[in-house]
Amino acid sequence: MTPRNFLVRGLLAGFLAGIFAFAVSYTVGEPQVDAAIAVEEAGTAAAPVEAAPADDGHTHSHSHDEGGTVVSRDNQSTWGLATGIFAVSTAFGGVVGLISAFAVGRLGRLRPSQSTAVIALLGFVAAWLVPFVKYPATPPAVGNEDTLADRTLYYFTIQAVSILAMIGVVLLARRLLSQIGTYRTLLVSGATFLVIVVVTGLLLPTVNEIGTFPGDTLWYFRRASLMTNLTLWAALGIILAGLIGRLYEQETARTARRDLAASL
């Protein structure tokens, strides 16, 4: 049960979780991105400016041009999407694996597989769900480019506060567990976390740059973002907990055989 074993299994679990997340994002999320791009292009066409380049006849001509390199929409929605998701999911898996290794034996009487599942759940809440509630994902054509740096700073600020608050309440729960019991510990820890993130959310500026963007398209896009990330974290937690559970069983059996051999 070494950190290296947790790290390797975390990276593997993250990569496998990326497969499920990519499938959801491609089938549920990308159609909403295309719908948002269509809204953006319709607004551009209606504006009294120079006409946009002609479409290729079978796909949206929405692409990024950086340094003279043009990335087509087809590549963005396939290879680009897969690369981003697999990179993020694998990195998350490695981080969750290392934190799970540290948490073994430190979360009450939970077995390694159970504590790993708890770490994945807490990671989802702290690293993604809380920032999403305050600053939900927005599709193309939403948001002012001049405020992009500020909006990014706000997002990472509440994400950092949320993660630090989660670490703090877990340490608090460890101290309280033997004093007030499991139920009261969960109530106190959960309430403490909620107070910290709610106050932080109230203190941070509210971003409202939706304008005339269609509300249904925005809702479907955010719902797809939620489904994708929920799938990623759920798959990561389930797969990693299973791998760690099997590792623990193998280690337990190996220890039992070694003890039996020593007693003979």
Do 128 and 184 fall within a single domain?
no
Model pLDDT, residue 57: 40
Do 100 and 205 fall within a single domain?
no
* Domain span holding position 7: 1-43+76-142+212-263
Parts of the chain with a pLDDT under 70: 43-71
Residue 59 inside a domain? The answer is: no
Residue 50 inside a domain? The answer is: no
How far apart are alpha carbons 28 and 223 in whole angstroms?
9
Do 104 and 34 fall within a single domain?
yes
Instruction: Judge contact between 25 and 232, C-beta under 8 A.
Output: no
Average pLDDT, the chain: 86
Residue 80 inside a domain? The answer is: yes
Question: Which amino acid does the sequence have at 207?
Answer: V
Do 118 and 228 fall within a single domain?
yes
Do 97 and 223 fall within a single domain?
yes
Do 197 and 249 fall within a single domain?
no
Model pLDDT, residue 55: 40
| Count: domains in the chain | 2
Cα dihedral 152, 132, 11, 9 sign: positive
Residue 65 inside a domain? The answer is: no
The string of pLDDT tens digits covering residues 5-34 is: 999 999 999 999 999 999 999 999 888 888
Do 181 and 197 fall within a single domain?
yes
Question: Which amino acid does the sequence have at 82?
Answer: A
How far apart are alpha carbons 246 and 241 in whole angstroms?
9
CA distances from 41 to 14, 57, 96 (A): 36, 14, 40
Do 106 and 231 fall within a single domain?
yes
- Token pair listed for 102: 């540290």
Model pLDDT, residue 69: 52
Do 149 and 129 fall within a single domain?
no
CA distances from 180 to 23, 183, 185 (A): 44, 8, 6
Do 102 and 161 fall within a single domain?
no
Residue 168 inside a domain? The answer is: yes
Model pLDDT, residue 44: 55
Do 105 and 229 fall within a single domain?
yes
Do 253 and 198 fall within a single domain?
no
The predicted model scores a pTM of 0.84
- Token pair listed for 87: 């990179």
Model pLDDT, residue 258: 80
Residue 49 inside a domain? The answer is: no
